[in-house]
Copies of this chain bind each other. A is one copy, B any other.
Amino acid sequence: MNKKIHVTDTILRDAHQSLIATRMRLEDMLPICDKLDKVGFWSLEVWGGATFDACVRFLKEDPWERLRKLRAALPNTRLQMLLRGQNLLGYRHYSDDVVKAFVAKAAVNGIDVFRIFDAMNDVRNLRTAIEAVKAAGKHAQGTISYTTSPVHTTASFVELAKRMQEKGVDSIAIKDMAGLLTPFATAELVGALKAEIDLPVFLHTHDTAGLGAMCQLKGVEAGADHIDTAISSFAWGTSHPGTESMVAALRGTPYDTGLDLELLQEIGLYFYNVRKKYHQFESEFTGIDTRVQVNQVPGGMMSNLANQLKEQGALHRINEVFEEIPKVRADLGFPPLVTPTSQIVGTQAVFNVLAGARYKTITNEVKLYLQGRYGRAPGEVNEHLRFQAIGSEEVIDVRPADLLKPEMARLRTEIGALAKSEEDVLTYAMFPDIGRKFLEEREAGTLQPEALLPIPTPGASASREGVPTE
């Protein structure tokens, strides 16, 4: 039985987010869009995640303008985005009217497929976004934020998928942002989902621990319908398995992707040269590293923590922090570690280590978390810690956004004439400070992307002449 496997390429979003801090500029995307559009990808992930932030903060690109230009340049390929549920692309919960407005505008400007996730896997935080996507007539993808813990089992993930199916999603994504999946765990999870859910399953796994390609292969054999890959020059390590490699692996098998390997190789060569331009954003934390399989700390979180500790002259204590993280995570009921929970857990762990006593200082985010303001924790939280953190303050049981009043009118007023469109209001909504700054600079005509360092000339290198092939 032949079953064509569909491919989503992440080169324009997650791949460069994972490897060069989300810094790829539109000017390096547009020249290759013609070829990308010819490949026949099921979709291209091009927007959302950290790209909106990076555009406004560092690149001084209007993210909406980027989306429109990509839409025009990729007429034949679905465009996909990553959306943090009720957090959208910001770092707090938004009221429903903001969520609806944002999704509607993303759809109008070009997004076809919305991958919607919540760091807590609290389906209530996905509901409004899913409904808004359906109202826009687009593809709503429900996401399992994959993690491992005593409370995360195959059965619990299947249950989560079922609840997302009830909300009307068009497909299910397994999102292994940390590279925690193993090949056999993938086969088990995909198999269980396919047995119990009547929706296409997308497999998104990072190659952080060097297991990504094996997970995809086992996932495909277990029934996964779609895989997320990255063009080779921005693949592997904390990014995804290489597109060309997965296409080659499945070529001529019942799972053939049907994609043209030579065309992909041309695209790979293009991005190989593009990557050189961003050398200043390369990091030693993006290579394959199996430590996540031991300590569960995602790659991106490791590099953030290293920076945080370095600034405080405490880099030598990083291993203590790595040991503290699972303990904080247990105290909080085992949230998956992904934005924003990775920051919440990571920062508290740093405080616990540097203060010399656990929870001597408790961050405001941990307090909000323990109040239920991010949603329902996957497991039981440490009640002693909760009492210590918030005393007898109320713990909410409702969906966090139920407590929020509509915000769009206020946001429109606040940003005033700086906003030339509803999209501008939403930019401001996502990032009140840097969004406003962006709009002000645009008004003043002073937008200036961060500087790129010149490409270093290659150093001396010895000849490899005459080396035997074995």
Contact = CB atoms under 8 A, between A and B. Distances in A.
Interface of A: 14, 17, 21-22, 49-50, 53, 82, 84, 117, 175, 177-178, 182-184, 209-211, 213-214, 217-218, 232, 235-236, 241-242, 244-245, 247-249, 251-253, 261-262, 264-265, 268, 279-283, 288-291, 293-294, 298, 300-301, 303-304, 307-308, 311, 337-340, 342-343, 450, 453, 456, 459-470
Given A209-B245, A245-B210, A245-B211, A280 B217 contact: no
A210 B236 contact: yes
A469 B232 contact: no
Nearest to A215: B249
Given A236-B210, A288-B235, A465-B307, A117 B470 contact: yes
Contacts of A252: 182, 184
Contacts of A268: 290
Nearest to A246: B210
Nearest to A244: B290
Given A459-B280, A461-B281, A214 B249 contact: yes
Count of identical protomers in the assembly: 2
A470 B290 contact: no
A382 B115 CA distance: 57
20 contacts: A17-B467, A177-B469, A184-B249, A209-B245, A210-B236, A210-B242, A211-B213, A213-B214, A214-B214, A232-B289, A232-B290, A245-B288, A261-B293, A280-B461, A281-B461, A303-B464, A339-B469, A339-B470, A340-B468, A456-B459
A249 B288 CA distance: 13
A326 to B, nearest CB: 15
Contacts of A464: 21, 281, 283, 303-304, 307
A254 B334 CA distance: 28
Contacts of A14: 470
A470 B338 contact: yes
A45 to B, nearest CB: 11
Contacts of A21: 462, 464, 467
A49 B470 CA distance: 5
Given A53-B468, A217-B218, A261-B293, A248 B182 contact: yes
Contact of A463 (B217, B261, B307): B307
Top 3 closest A-B pairs, CB basis?
A210-B245, A339-B468, A244-B290
A341 to B, nearest CB: 9
A381 B431 CA distance: 69
A248 B303 contact: no
A236 B214 CA distance: 14
A5 to B, nearest CB: 13
Contacts of A307: 463-465
Contacts of A337: 469
A63 to B, nearest CB: 14
A232 B210 contact: yes
A281 B339 contact: no
B453 A50 contact: no
B50 A467 contact: yes
A242 B290 contact: yes
Given A49-B470, A210-B244, A470-B117, A253 B290 contact: no
Which of A14, A175, A463 has the most C-beta atoms of chain B within 10 angstroms of its own C-beta?
A463
Contacts of A253: 184
A265 B291 contact: yes
Contact of A210 (B82, B117, B241, B311): B241
A342 to B, nearest CB: 4
A154 to B, nearest CB: 14
A232 B469 CA distance: 21
A444 to B, nearest CB: 25
